Chains A and B, each alone.
Chain A
Amino acid sequence: MSVDAKPMPATRELVHATPVESPLTLMWYKFRAHRLAVWSIWVIAALYLTAIFANWIAPFDPETRTGLPFSPPSWPTVMVDGAFVWPPVAFGVSQQLDRKTFKRVYAIDTTQRYPVQLFITGDRHSWFGLFPSDMHVIGVDKGGAFFLMGTDSLGRDVFSRMVYGSRISLSIGLVGVAISLVLGVILGGISGYFGGWVDLAVQRLIEIIQCFPSIPLWMALAAALPHDWTTIQVYFGITVILSLVGWTDLARVVRGRFLSLREEDFVMAARLAGASEARIIRKHLLPSFMSHIIASVTLSIPSMILAETALSFLGIGLTPPALSWGVLLQDAQNVNTLATAPWLLLPGALVIVTVLAFNFLGDGLRDAADPFSRESFK
């Protein structure tokens, strides 16, 4: 075709200063407008960094017994007898028995001062079996009461146990969602792509699975796990159980997006341009619903975390010596214990913070998933 044939007056567009942005930039703008989601990123990042570097961050080994059971949270202070001290100090404690109530009472001895130190030597640990070390990011010398969240019935530091427990609690969400994502995308994709009786079969299967009350189903499945499994085996067993139940929502999202996208004009345009089915899926369908999938995935992580917590709390998921927030919460099952040591509920607070952060993040991602909303300035 020859282009130089003749000029075309009045068909050339005038250029206006329209902002030039890529779809990713638009998504970022939309996401950024969601303040809570932006904050949640930081919260989630902090949680995962803590989980990864738990052995350095926790001041104690999770199994170390300090000999001070049910010690309340005791924080280092910078004010001693009205005077400012730096670095902050922790005090020594002595344990007494109240003769009337038979309760343990901890008396703080302000004369014994243990300054808070960074990179202090303490319990030996190693990073997933590598890099053995006895360095802790923060801590005090032996004898000082540095229990940020108190101790449990065996005198173990709850804070350290929570830090270690986050490894399982936080990773089980990711691994579980990864498995359900694979299941969901494959089954939802097949269902949406082929339609007909395949679609019908998958949809009925999803409905049946969603009809089961989840806790009894988990219990039945968890009971089926062999008793002689190691912690790691149980961990994966639980993950698989959770994702077998959890893939259905993702499959529905994938199918729904598939069905609505297939009707889009641009998919028909691609077909008319001679694009093969594989190319249409790869170039048009997948990129268009990737962002939606990411948002849905983020929103389903909290339910995985909650499910693990619930299972472990009920004693049918992970059991000690495995550590997860649900396992820690088992200690808070008893009303009497709770009355003496309410801080044992703190792992629950952490679950709440994590779940909220993921939900906010997911909301933000969902808003950003479709940056091309057509509302223009009329």
Chain B
Amino acid sequence: MSEPLLEIRGLSKRFPIHSGLSRRVTGEVRAIDGVDLTIMRGETLGLVGESGCGKSTTGRAILRAIEPTEGEILFHDRAGTVDVAKLGRDELKRVRRRMQMVFQDPYASLNPRMNVEALIAEPLICLEHLTHRQRRDRVVELLELVGLNASYLLRYPHTFSGGQRQRIGIARALALEPDFVVCDEAVSALDVSVQAQVLNLLSDIQERLGTTYLFISHDLGVIEHQCDRVAVMYLGRIVEFAETEALLRTPKMPYVEALLSAVPEPDPHVRRERVAIRGEVADPANRPSGCPFHPRCPYAQEVCKSTVPALRQVEGASGAHLAACHFAEALSLRGVA
């Protein structure tokens, strides 16, 4: 196994809830609540969950695109280890070169008033000292890398299709040759045929440049195809974390079982038997006591209502397989065949 690139410890983000005329803080939303993750150099780590589970917030907090409330983000650079969460503005700028992000919405993430050259060159202008000529060469090189024509340089985002825009977004994220890229639902807004192209592109880039990805998605099919390891989030916490294969075939947490069984199979002969779960994702502002999943869990017991299960190694599992369930060993849950 390669060495870790990022170690995240106890990462939390809480948003205060204001109410009343005086805007007094009356509560808080725990968008992410003590996330621990280790991301290995050169791997693709999947982060999956339903809307509101905190997966995007986690990705953004790691990059300090939003300020985490607490926690450590240890980044093992070639130069040494830094805690990204504690960096000041200037040091953060240096780390920015190493960590980038591809956004979900290729429409909103490109400034419509800038042309392709200006968009891709922005990180180069801000963080590198290049001559105009060098910069343009680099932009052309990046366009080629993501499979776009250099003749697009002076065009504006609105003249491109969704897939092409996403390629521009990827080119910009790669401009500084980062070690780590957060792909926040990077293919969710794309059509299947274009989605496949972009997934292939991300894999090709990883193969060539050794990029490490945190791949955030709600689509388990895409996650399975793209990721080496997967972490599943529910209500701001990681509830299961294992190698992709192990997690999908032998889930250890009832929520993951339900999630897997709900994915519609593109084959009319296969009828996956759905594990019925009641109700909907709970409100992060109003989280249940004990295990956050217990109100919907078909296997819930008394202990689940009172005690929060820790994320721990499941005994008897092959390899590292973490789950947050009191009955991770006892339950025999169904994965995908």
Contact = CB atoms under 8 A, between A and B. Distances in A.
Asked if A and B touch directly (CB within 8 angstroms), the answer is yes
A265 B156 contact: no
B141 A1 contact: yes
A10 interface: yes
Interface string A254-297: 00000000001110111111111001000110011000000000
Given A10-B197, A13-B147, A20-B155, A268 B204 contact: no
Interface string B173-186: 00101000000000
Nearest to B178: A272
A274 B149 CA distance: 26
Q: Majority SS of interface residues in chain A?
A: loop
Nearest to B209: A1
Interface in A1-52: 1-3, 5, 8, 10-13, 15-16, 18-23, 26
B102 to A, nearest CB: 9
A15 to B, nearest CB: 7
Q: How many residues of A sit at the interface, in one of the four size bands? A: 35 or more
B156 A21 contact: yes
Interface in A155-171: none
A1 B211 CA distance: 12
A372 interface: yes
A273 B141 CA distance: 18
Contacts of B65: 268, 271-272
A179 B65 CA distance: 37
B110 interface: yes
Interface string B150-162: 0000011011110
Interface residues of B, number: 48
A272 B147 contact: no
Interface in B59-100: 60, 63, 65, 93, 96-97, 100
A99 interface: no
B149 A15 contact: yes
B101 interface: yes
B163 interface: yes
B112 interface: yes
B201 interface: yes
Contacts of B108: 264-266
B123 A274 contact: yes
B122 A275 contact: yes
A218 B197 CA distance: 65
A97 to B, nearest CB: 70
Contacts of A23: 112-113, 156, 158
Contacts of B127: 273-274
Interface of A: 1-3, 5, 8, 10-13, 15-16, 18-23, 26, 264-266, 268-276, 279, 283-284, 287-288, 372, 374
Given A269-B110, A269-B169, A272-B65, 18 more contacts: A1-B145, A11-B200, A11-B201, A18-B161, A19-B159, A20-B155, A20-B159, A21-B158, A26-B158, A265-B108, A266-B109, A266-B112, A269-B109, A273-B123, A274-B96, A275-B122, A279-B126, A283-B114
